[in-house]
Structure 1
């Protein structure tokens, strides 16, 4: 039996720019992906100083990680996006690029976008943490 995923936006909560306030998974297995970083297969940081290039690499890495467990972006039930910035325009641009990307459906679920001071690799500007309900 495939996991049933329900996304809700209670009327008592504010409207969202595309994500859902609540995601419910009725049954099944889940995959918890490590934070996907803008590193190429050799472990080299991609796009130093270029948020868009780093987002594109994160998207490619997230697709590979999801694919490794037989999942697609629409199976994601929780996402957390970390961006090195405290500028609301930079955060909004990162959100828009991610939601317009090949993993865009992942962000229709319960999602959090955080501006942070630093991430784990020198020069890293973005990281995406995903949890997926695995299909059978």
Structure 2
């Protein structure tokens, strides 16, 4: 699908740390993944208090979800990242960890990173919401 996805950074907008300001999808089907949480297959939060461990679990879960619809990280056209922290250093560290994960290419697209007060599960520190343009 990547030939039907165009990522753009207009010259008159600020430079970015890896994402693009605009993602254009020509046509086709779209998958909207629910927020991927740091839960194991039993539904338990992993790595309580450990953001890196939770990011790794979220990335693994997101890859499974993308693969279930015949997509990969390269097919992601929009990402929303929620991190429980008001600290910009923590947010930046989460961004860099995601960009080193098994779904790293998902974050080269239109992306938003937010610090939030709380997420849905006790001990949850991160959630990632992805939209993908499905291949073929």
TM-score bracket, normalised by the shorter chain, equals over 0.9
Measure, in 1, the Cα distance between the counterparts of 2:60 and 2:8.
Answer: 28
Tell me, in whole angstroms, the C-alpha distance in 2 between the residues paired with 1:8 and 1:22. 5
Q: Work out whether residues 78 and 130 of structure 2, in 8 Å CA contact, stay in contact via their aligned partners in 1.
A: yes
Rounded Cα–Cα distance in structure 1 between residues aligned with 2:118 and 2:3: 35
Give ranges in structure 1 of 5+ residues lacking alignment. none
CA distance in 1, matches of 2:2, 2:88: 38
- Taking the aligned partners of 2:39 and 2:82, their CA distance within structure 1 comes to 15
Matched, 1:59 2:33: no
Q: CA deviation at 1:3?
A: 6.6
Stretches of structure 2 that go unaligned for 5 or more consecutive residues are none
C-alpha contact 1:51 1:126 (8 A) present in aligned 2:
yes
Partner of 1:124: 124
String of CA shifts for 1:57-90, please: whole Å, max 9, x gaps: 0001000000000000000000000000010110
- Displacement of 1:12: 1.1
The TM-score, its normalising length taken from structure 2, stands at 0.98
Instruction: State the alpha-carbon separation in 2 of the partners of residues 37 and 7 from structure 1.
Output: 26
What secondary structure sits across from 1:111 in the alignment?
strand
Shift of 1:2: 7.7
Distance 1:132 1:95 in 2: 19
**Which 4+ residue blocks in structure 1 deviate beyond 3 angstroms?**
none
TM-score, scaled relative to structure 1: 0.98
CA RMSD, aligned part only? 1.1
Distance 1:101 1:34 in 2: 19
Tell whether the 8 Å contact from 1:20 to 1:109 is kept in structure 2 after alignment.
Answer: yes
